[in-house]
């Protein structure tokens, strides 16, 4: 390696590490919701996503060229969701059995909201979760969500409506009670 | 199916707020796990003490992705590493250019990495190899040197050394030997020396193997006239496990063949191989060209090219979970040097995984039968000067740092080979067809 190319590489690595340090929290929160509160799997997904980002990091630094990653943060969120879905496909037989939702009195510490929400999410099909997380946590439009999921907008809209309905049945009134406080 | 439910804006708003509130909680309980891991990874990288992970060529290809798991986040269990490279570095020839040379050592050992015997039935049924642990053992069946050009731009050159090449050994007893035997000879010498020193069998195995690796690296360096920068060692079981992790691999052969010894049974054209068949494919000798070992090197090269093609097609090379699975396999069956810097290596992987690899087998000059120590064996004779010129031509680049040493070999004709050998296998053709 010549000196200049190795220092350029180190600069790129530093840049990546700064990115990873800055984004991993947000990625982790998305992963946590996507996995229905499975912290370990969420951690794996974040690591896989960052690994993938590292492999493609050179694409963030070639403006105007094909395959350029213009917005690494958004790209990483997309990678995360796709990793999650392909992970689910491979491990569909390892889905956790539907847990019985614990009775909530409605006035607990904030942890109860996290638990209630993720336990309900965990009972939805993976794609439903992906749609809900993208639309209501990451605040993406139907079109953006469709791009991430490689689906068409109509399908996303339909799935979104059905997923919301399922979640509403699972959560009953507890969501409203917990979220307003 | 009932009609689609009606939208419920109130519930949607509630969900947005619920995500936000819950996220605060996630942040407080779980996030330190992630950022803490990152911080550790960063310190490690700075100290240049990244646990090196690597593997066979197949695994190498996915390593870039999987290695990050360890490199950036500082988790995972490293592959067993070896100091053999350091030991061999003192006698290394000067480098031809700024590229990286990697030696892959495939042992025909029926032993696990800790020296224990593999289960006989498994060896017999799946590996199609004789089950007695004293058949085979420490012969280096596969010796493949990869040259990755500096900066990762340009073709990766892969050169197989025929295992029967009769060469001057280094680091063993200094005599002429078939190159495949150098490892075992050096190991046996070390074993005699270490007997009775109170080492446990596992320690003894580990240390004597280091001697075998060092001697093999030194001999290859001297034979090819290039320094070895990294190496990876795997055995029959490792190959099997890797093939299993990769999944069915399609290979292409020019003619139908079958060979009871290796268990190979192939029809002309495309064949889909399970791990056991994959092993037979790379080990088949009878019924392939002239039956000599040199054509097995072509099979090994073709399998590597096909396996990479398969991985590329499946998108595994960029899929971290699959890459991770391969790494877990690699981890238990491989030994690599302790100086392999993954972050550096990852930058060089694209050409390897992109299939931009050219595989060649080094030529031989003829055949001979040598006798010694009460036995005679058939060997391939070689012209060391010619070999070094060929290697120089294939590995060296015009802007190399070693101008004086390349001058003498600048016009090496590698067309005038004394004995016809296997053809070049090109990795950029997807699934190459071989004999």
A43 and A80 share one domain: yes
Partner B, chain A 135-154, Cβ-Cβ below 8 Å: 136-137, 139
Q: Convert the pLDDT of each residue in B229-245 to its tens digit.
A: 888 887 777 777 777 77
- Total domains, chain A: 2
Q: Which residue of A has its CA nearest to B48?
A: A10
CB B112 within 8 A of CB A15: no
**A-chain residues near B38 (CB < 8 A):** 17, 20-21, 24
- A3 and A90 together in one domain: yes
Q: Which of residues 370-399 of B touch A (CB under 8 A)?
A: none
CB atoms within 10 A of CB B202: 12
CB–CB of B410/B390 below 8 Å?
no
Q: Please give, rounded to a whole number of angstroms, the shortest distance from the CA of A27 to a CA of chain B.
A: 10
Highest mean pLDDT among B99-108, B344-353, B379-388: B379-388
Check if the beta carbon of residue A142 is closer than 8 Å to that of residue A160: yes
**A74-A75-A78 Cα angle (round to 5):** 90
CB of B243 closer than 8 Å to CB of B61: no
Specify the range with the lowest mean pLDDT, choosing from A117-131, B92-106, B393-407.
B393-407
Burial class for B405, CB neighbours closer than 10 Å (0-12, 13-18, 19+): middle
Rg of chain A, C-alpha, whole Å:
19
- Please name the residues in contact with B153: beta carbons below 8 A apart, sequence gap of 6 or more: B351
Q: Which residue of B has its CA nearest to A159?
A: B4
* Same domain assignment for residues A76 and A109: no
pLDDT tens per residue across span A125-163: 999 999 999 999 988 889 999 999 989 999 999 999 999
Q: Where are the alpha helices (DSSP H) in A35-134?
A: 39-55, 72-90, 111-122, 126-132
Asked which of A60, A95, A130 is the last residue of a domain, the reply is: A95
Percentage of chain B modeled with pLDDT above 70: 59
CA quadruple B389, B395, B398, B403: dihedral positive or negative?
Answer: negative
Show Cβ contacts of residue B46 under 8 Å, excluding neighbours closer than 6 positions.
Answer: none
pLDDT score at B56: 33
Taking a contact as any Cβ pair under 8 Å apart, which residues of chain B between 72 and 91 contact chain A? 72-73, 75
| A-to-B residue pairs, Cβ atoms closer than 8 angstroms | 156
Contact B94, B397 (CB under 8 A): no
Residue B19 touches chain A, beta carbons under 8 Å: yes
Question: Does one domain contain both A127 and A80?
Answer: no
Alpha-carbon Rg for chain B, nearest whole angstrom, is 24
- Each domain of chain B, given as residue ranges in start order, spans 57-434
Q: B270-294 pLDDT, tens per residue?
A: 888 887 888 888 777 665 655 566 6
**Could you give the CA distance from residue A132 to residue B339 in angstroms, rounded to a whole number?**
46
Q: Does the beta carbon of A175 lie under 8 angstroms from any beta carbon of chain B?
A: yes
Q: What CATH number is given for B57-434 in this structure? A: 3.40.630.190
pLDDT at B58: 35
**Rounded Cα distance, B291 and A30, in Å:** 58
pLDDT at B347: 47
* Domain at A71, CATH number: 1.10.1740
Look at residue B117 and give its three-state secondary structure.
Answer: strand
The answer to whether B43 faces chain A, any CB pair under 8 Å, is no
Interface of A with B in 72-111 (CB under 8 A): 83, 86-87, 90, 110-111
Q: Which of A20, A39, A161 sits opposite B5 (nearest CB)?
A: A161
A66 and A117 inside one domain: no
Asked if A132 and B22 come within 8 Å (Cβ–Cβ), the reply is no
Largest Cα–Cα distance in chain B? 92
Residues of chain A positioned with their CB less than 8 A from the CB of B397: none
pLDDT bucket at A11, cuts 50 / 70 / 90: confident
Q: Which residue of B has its CA nearest to A5?
A: B151
Cβ within 8 Å, pair B31-A28: yes
Final residue before a domain boundary, out of A79, A95, A111: A95
Q: Is B27 on the interface with A (CB under 8 A)?
A: yes
Q: How much is the mean pLDDT over chain A?
A: 79
Nearest-CB residue to A164 (from B11, B33, B318): B11
Residue B35: pLDDT band with limits 50, 70, 90: very low
pLDDT tens for each residue of A36-54: 988 888 888 888 888 888 8
CA-wise closest residue to B310 among B333, B326, B296, B298: B326
ipTM: 0.82
Partner-chain residue, chosen from A33, A110, A180, that has the shortest CB–CB distance to B24: A110
One domain, residues A90 and A178: no
A89 and A167 assigned to the same domain: no
3-class secondary structure per residue, B342-366: HHHHHCCHHHHHCCCEEEEECCCCE
β-partners of residue B234 are B106, B334
Helices (H), B81-235: 84-89, 120-125, 182-194, 201-224
**Residue B29 at interface with chain A, using a CB cutoff of 8 Å:** yes
Cα–Cα distance for residue pair A43/A48, rounded to 1 Å:
9
Clarify whether residues A38 and A116 are in a common domain: no
Q: Measure the CA–CA gap between B346 and B67, rounded to whole angstroms.
A: 8
Put simply, the answer to whether B8 touches A168 (Cβ < 8 Å) is yes
Is there a contact between A132 and B5 if contact means CB atoms under 8 Å apart? Answer: no
User: Which of B18, B66, B98 is closest, CB to CB, to A113?
Assistant: B18
0.80 exceeded by pTM? no
| A33:B68 CB<8 A | no
Q: Could you give the angle at which helices B57-73 and A3-34 cross, rounded to 10 degrees?
A: 80
Same-domain status, A8 and A33: yes
CA distance B72 to B51: 11
Give yes or no: residues A48 and A70 share one domain.
yes
DSSP string, B306-348: HHHHHHHHHTGGG-HHHHHHHHHHHHHHEEEETT--HHHHHTT
Contact between chains at B7 and A55 (C-beta distance less than 8 A): no
Q: Could you give the CA distance from residue A83 to residue B143 in angstroms, rounded to a whole number?
A: 37
Q: Are A87 and A57 in contact (CB under 8 A)?
A: no
Contact A25, B31 (CB under 8 A): yes
**What does each C-alpha distance from A123 to A82, A127, A166, B103 come to in angstroms?**
19, 11, 9, 50
- Decide if A19 contacts B25 (C-beta within 8 A): no
CATH number for position A164: 1.10.10.10
User: Average pLDDT in the B311-325 region?
Assistant: 66
What is the C-alpha to C-alpha distance for residues B44 and B50, in angstroms, rounded to an integer? 6
User: Taking Cα atoms as reference points, which of B125, B329, B355 lies closest to residue B235?
Assistant: B329
Interface test with A, best of B12, B34, B349 (most A CBs within 10 A): B34
Interface of B with A in 326-345 (CB under 8 A): 343-344
Judge if A51 and A78 occupy the same domain: yes
Dihedral (CA of A72, A73, A78, A79) sign: positive
Each residue's pLDDT tens digit, B185-233:
999 899 888 888 888 888 888 888 899 999 999 999 999 999 998 888 8
* A62 and A79 co-located in one domain: yes
User: Would an 8 Å CB–CB cutoff place B25 in contact with chain A?
Assistant: yes
Name every chain B residue with its beta carbon within 8 A of the beta carbon of A18.
none
| CA–CA gap between residue B36 and residue B113 (Å, rounded) | 34
Q: Chain-centre distance of CA A97, in angstroms? A: 21
Among A17, A37, A114, most B C-beta atoms within 10 A, so best to mutate, is A114
pLDDT: is B71 or B336 the higher one?
A: B336
Q: Name the residue range of residue A56's domain.
A: 1-95
The pLDDT value given to residue B369: 85
């Amino acid at each position: 390696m010549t000196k200049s190319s190795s220092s350029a590489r180190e600069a790129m690595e530093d840049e990546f590490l700064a990115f990873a340090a800055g984004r991993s929290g947000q990625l982790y929160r998305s992963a946590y919701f996507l996995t229905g509160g499975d912290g370990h799997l969420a951690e794996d997904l974040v690591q896989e996503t960052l690994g993938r980002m590292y492999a493609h990091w050179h694409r963030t630094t070639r403006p105007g060229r094909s395959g350029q990653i213009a917005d690494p943060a958004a790209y990483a969120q997309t990678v995360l969701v796709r990793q999650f879905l392909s992970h689910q496909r491979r491990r569909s037989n390892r889905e956790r059995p539907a847990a019985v939702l614990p009775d909530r009195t409605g006035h607990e510490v904030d942890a109860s909201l996290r638990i209630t929400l993720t336990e309900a999410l965990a009972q939805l099909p993976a794609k439903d979760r992906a749609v809900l997380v993208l639309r209501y946590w990451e605040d993406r439009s139907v079109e953006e969500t469709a791009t991430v999921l490689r689906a068409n907008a109509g399908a996303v809209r339909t799935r979104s409506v059905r997923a919301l309905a399922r979640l509403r049945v699972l959560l009953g009134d507890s969501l409203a009670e917990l979220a307003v406080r | 199916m009932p009609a689609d439910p009606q939208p419920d804006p109130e519930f949607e708003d509630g969900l947005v707020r619920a995500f936000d509130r819950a996220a605060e909680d996630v942040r407080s309980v779980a996030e330190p796990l992630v950022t803490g891991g990152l911080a550790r990874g960063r310190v490690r990288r700075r100290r240049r003490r990244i646990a090196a992970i690597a593997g066979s060529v197949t695994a190498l290809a996915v390593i870039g992705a999987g290695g990050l798991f360890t490199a950036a986040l500082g988790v995972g269990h490293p592959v067993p590493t070896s100091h053999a490279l350091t030991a061999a570095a003192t006698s290394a020839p000067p480098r031809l250019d700024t590229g990286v040379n990697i030696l892959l050592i495939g042992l025909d050992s029926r032993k696990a990495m800790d020296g224990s015997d593999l289960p006989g039935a498994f060896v017999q049924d799946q590996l199609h190899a004789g089950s007695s642990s004293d058949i085979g053992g420490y012969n280096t069946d596969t010796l493949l040197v990869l040259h990755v050009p500096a900066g990762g731009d340009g073709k990766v050159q892969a050169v197989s050394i025929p295992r029967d090449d009769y060469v001057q050994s280094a680091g063993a007893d200094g005599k002429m030997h078939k190159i495949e035997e150098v490892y075992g000879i050096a190991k046996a010498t070390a074993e005699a020396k270490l007997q009775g020193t109170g080492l446990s069998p596992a320690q003894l195995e580990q240390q004597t193997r280091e001697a075998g690796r060092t001697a093999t690296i030194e001999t290859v360096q001297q034979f090819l006239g290039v320094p070895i920068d990294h190496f990876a060692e795997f055995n029959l079981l490792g190959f099997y496990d890797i093939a299993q992790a990769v999944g069915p691999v399609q290979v292409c052969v020019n003619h139908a063949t079958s060979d009871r010894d290796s268990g190979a049974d192939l029809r002309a054209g495309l064949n889909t191989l399970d791990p056991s068949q994959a092993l037979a494919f790379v080990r088949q000798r009878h019924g392939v060209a002239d039956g000599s070992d040199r054509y097995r090197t072509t099979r090994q090269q073709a399998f590597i090219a096909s396996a990479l093609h398969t991985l590329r097609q499946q998108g595994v090379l960029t899929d971290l979970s699959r890459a991770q699975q391969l790494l877990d396999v690699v981890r238990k069956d491989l030994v690599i040097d302790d100086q392999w810097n993954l972050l550096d290596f990852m930058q060089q992987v694209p050409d390897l995984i992109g299939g931009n690899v050219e595989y060649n087998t080094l030529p031989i000059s003829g055949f001979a039968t040598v006798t010694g120590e009460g036995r005679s064996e058939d060997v391939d004779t070689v012209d060391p000067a010619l070999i070094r010129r060929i290697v120089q031509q294939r590995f060296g680049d015009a802007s190399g740092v070693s101008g004086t040493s390349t001058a003498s070999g600048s016009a090496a004709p590698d067309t005038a080979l004394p004995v016809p050998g296997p053809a070049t296998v090109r990795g950029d053709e997807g699934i190459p067809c071989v004999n």
